[in-house]
């Protein structure tokens, strides 16, 4: 039995939960899943059982609790150094961390206007100029990473890495909202959506009770 447990929210909408979850499933790291239903009267109390931050995901590792999606990804890379969660090359790894932190701390307009919902076709919805600027910046980030570091595979740094985990929720948004993309970004979106861990997340989201219940 694994000593790791990941506290997450609803798979349909919990974009922050998807990040460590997809990294762990991709890397074959065994863990127990503890799911908290979001947007219910008892959600805050349920989250408070695991973290004083008021937010999930939280990773339980033995006696330690690690919160904040990016910190969890760093911890997993430390704990499982053989799984290649960051690119091996130092320059690629530094770049991967930079774009992952940019995702973690930024793109508020995108998150507000294009909330993640893997279950619904949201084409036809409109978003602000600020959200479009976020989309343009993310597209540029993906093109640069693919161009400089992506030759060995279909992901940002070739092989799937923590950087792809950080951008996985954006990938689902670009697909469900029908965001218009260039050839490189479209192909990257298709590769992430085809990843077995991403498919599993979406399948499990479909099997969940409706939000708020």
For the bound state, the minimum distance from the C-beta of residue 95 to ligand GSH, rounded and expressed in Å, comes to: 20
Residue from 25, 27, 38, 171 binding ligand GSH (CB under 6 A): 38
For the bound state, the minimum distance from the C-beta of residue 161 to ligand GSH, rounded and expressed in Å, comes to: 17
83 binding ligand GSH? (CB under 6 A): no
Cα-Cα-Cα-Cα dihedral sign, residues 43, 163, 21, 172? positive
169 binding ligand GSH? (CB under 6 A): no
DSSP three-state, residue 41: coil
Q: In sequence order, what are the residues at sequence separation of 6 or more whose Cβ sits closer than 8 angstroms to the Cβ of residue 72? A: 6, 19, 20, 57, 58, 59, 66
117 binding ligand GSH? (CB under 6 A): no
56 binding ligand GSH? (CB under 6 A): yes
| 90-105 helix and 129-149 helix, angle to the nearest 10 degrees | 170
Residue from 31, 68, 107, 172 binding ligand GSH (CB under 6 A): 68
Residue 188 CA neighbour count, 13 Å, CB half = 32
Give the Cα-Cα-Cα angle 183, 188, 189 (nearest 5 degrees).
Answer: 100
Nearer to ligand GSH, 124 or 209 (CB): 209
Give the residues lining the site for ligand GSH (CB under 6 A). 9, 14-17, 38, 43-44, 55-57, 68-69, 104
């Amino acid at each position: 039995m694994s000593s790791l447990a990941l506290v997450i929210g609803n798979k349909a909408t919990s974009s922050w939960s998807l990040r460590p979850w997809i990294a762990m499933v991709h890397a074959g790291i065994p863990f127990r899943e503890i799911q908290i239903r979001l947007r219910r009267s008892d959600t805050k109390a349920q989250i408070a059982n695991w973290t004083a931050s008021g937010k999930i995901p939280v990773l339980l590792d033995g006696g330690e609790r690690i919160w904040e999606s990016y910190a969890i990804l760093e911890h997993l890379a430390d704990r499982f150094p053989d799984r290649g969660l960051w690119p091996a090359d130092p320059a690629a790894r530094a770049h991967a961390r930079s774009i992952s932190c940019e995702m973690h701390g930024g793109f508020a307009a995108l998150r507000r206007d294009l909330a993640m919902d893997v279950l619904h076709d949201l084409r036809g919805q409109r978003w602000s100029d600020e959200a479009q600027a976020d989309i343009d910046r993310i597209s540029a980030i993906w093109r640069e990473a693919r161009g400089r570091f992506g030759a060995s595979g279909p992901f940002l740094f070739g092989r799937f890495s923590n950087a792809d985990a950080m951008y996985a929720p954006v990938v689902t948004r670009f697909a469900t909202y029908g965001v218009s993309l260039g050839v490189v970004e479209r192909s990257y979106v298709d590769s992430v959506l085809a990843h077995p861990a991403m498919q599993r997340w979406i399948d499990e989201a479909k099997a969940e009770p409706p939000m708020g219940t």
